[in-house]
Amino acid sequence: MMLRIKRVPTVVSNYQKDETEETARRSSGCGKNCLRSCCIPGAKLPLYAFRKLNNIESEKVVLGIENKEPPVAFLDSLILGEVIPGEYGFVAQLNEGRHLKKRPTEFRVDKVLQPFDGNKFNFTKVGQEEVLFQFEASEDGEVQFYPSAPIDVENSPSVVAINVSPIEYGHVLLIPRILECLPQRIDRESFLLALYMTAEAGNPYFRLGYNSLGAFATINHLHFQAYYLAVPFPIEKAPTKKITTLNDEVIISELLNYPVRGLVFEGGNTLQAMSDTVSDACICLQENNIPYNVLISDCGKRIFLLPQCYAEKQALGEVSPELLDTQVNPAVWEISGHMVLKRRKDYDEASDENAWRLLAEVSLSDERFREVNALIFEVIASGEDGIEHAATSLPKEPDTKAESTEEESTITKTSHRAMVTASLNPKYS
């Protein structure tokens, strides 16, 4: 019998309402205490200055092995969710109303890269009271917390803000360089910041996720999501097959026995090496208009990269009405195994089989996954120069079946060159 959990109330931020509902601007700003130029001059927010790590060994200090107490707890952990009985341990959570109260998507779902549009909702429009703290590297190498620090407008701060449409208590957003108004696209600098956040949290139950446009990101303003959940995600327990080890000791593996095909990145001599490898892979996907999700787990030491095609299948009418009726848009948390369900019926009938059936629709086919892997490994092998080349190398829709077969054969050969002898890693709990 499945354990029951409390419902999570969903609210809509006052600062996410339609622009027609805005109050008249006042001499002191727009009246909403937002993060735009009308309200930000002279404003102050808490500041968490993290220790910048040079290598993986330095994590011992951050993760609490040293007896030194940090100046403030990074985030409080408030946990909800129960495990579905079964082999895989999918987590079922009933969150009625989130899809009705959450701000609707305001951009095309068939393009991964789209320009930032300041007229649409973005995070500069939220109230300053929704920002928990600024998050930046410490200048003196020591973790510091300042309850009230000026906002450096010239050097746009990265901030951690509450998520007003949460799937968990403690659900937050990391918004890199918020005042630069970056669109939802990964770059090396922002991805490294996300890794620092997971390392700083120092808790294996704290995970950070990213959804690209086309993979159920709902706001085109660069952001990551994060929260605590005190159970292993099924994706974290799935076995993997090693593909290769890079020169900087980053290990790349492939997920096995899991409904969504994906790559797993582990190890690396430095956080920078891990970040550069994964962010380059992400850049490759978005430049080729391939929607994807990312899960950063194990304090930044394991990263899952998951290209997906659910929205494309929806548009083509290839998803069954039964699955569409669940109103579940499988983004990073659902793909990882935390099934956020919208209807009581689906929650009551939650099972491994139902979760697997939904997630199987998210996954690329094996053939397409091999093609995408070939692009990723080409970029990783050639460095930054390969990103531009890879953006033009994805085969277009062929006019004839013969052309298709020839192109696919080429892709397969490229993929084989990039891979080495594999070994199987066991499951872990």
Locus of tokens 């930000």: 40
Residue 177, phi-psi category: left (phi > 0), alpha (psi -120 to 50), beta (remainder): left
**Structure tokens that stand for 77 in this block:** 């952990």
43, with CB counted inside 10 A (0-12, 13-18, 19+), is middle
Q: What CATH class does 46-425 carry?
A: alpha beta
Give the strand pairing for 131-137 and 159-162: antiparallel
| Beta carbons within 8 Å of 64's beta carbon, 6+ residues apart | 202
Residue 89, phi-psi category: left (phi > 0), alpha (psi -120 to 50), beta (remainder): left
Instruction: Fill in the amino acid letter for 276.
Output: D
> Which secondary-structure segment (H or E) carries 369?
helix 366-382
- What is the distance between the alpha carbons of residues 332 and 314, in angstroms, rounded to a whole number? 17
**Structure tokens that stand for 420 in this block:** 């080495």
Q: What is the pLDDT of residue 396?
A: 43
- What is the distance between the alpha carbons of residues 343 and 335, in angstroms, rounded to a whole number? 18
- What is the distance between the alpha carbons of residues 281 and 292, in angstroms, rounded to a whole number? 10
Of 99, 223, 338, 416, the active-site residue reads 223
Cα–Cα nearest to 45, from 125, 136, 122, 121: 136
Per-residue pLDDT of the chain (429 residues; tens, 9 = 90+): 333 333 444 444 444 444 444 443 434 578 889 999 899 988 999 898 988 876 554 443 333 334 455 666 664 432 234 456 677 788 888 877 544 455 566 667 789 999 999 999 999 999 999 998 999 999 888 888 898 999 999 999 999 998 877 776 578 999 999 999 999 999 999 999 999 999 988 889 899 999 999 999 999 999 999 998 888 999 999 999 999 999 999 999 999 999 999 999 999 999 999 999 999 999 999 999 999 999 999 999 999 999 999 999 999 999 999 999 999 999 999 999 999 888 889 988 988 999 999 999 999 999 999 999 999 999 998 864 445 444 444 444 434 333 333 333 322 322 222 222 222 332 322
Q: Has 221 been annotated as catalytic?
A: no
Q: What is the pLDDT of residue 296?
A: 98
Give me the phi and psi of 335, to 5 degrees please. Answer: -60, -35
Q: What is the pLDDT of residue 258?
A: 97
Tens digit of pLDDT for each residue in 420-429?
Answer: 222 233 232 2
Residue 395, phi-psi category: left (phi > 0), alpha (psi -120 to 50), beta (remainder): beta
Q: Where are the domains of the chain?
A: 46-425
Q: What is the pLDDT of residue 69?
A: 59
* Terminal Cα-to-Cα distance of the chain (whole angstroms): 22
**Structure tokens that stand for 298 in this block:** 């194990």
Torsion, Cα 16 19 20 21, to 10 degrees, reads 30
> Which secondary-structure segment (H or E) carries 173?
strand 172-175
Q: What is the pLDDT of residue 429?
A: 29
Q: What is the pLDDT of residue 115?
A: 94
What DSSP string runs through 60-73? HHHTT-S-PPPSS-
Tens digit of pLDDT for each residue in 354-405?
Answer: 999 999 999 999 999 999 999 999 999 886 444 544 444 444 443 433 333 3
Q: What is the pLDDT of residue 13?
A: 44
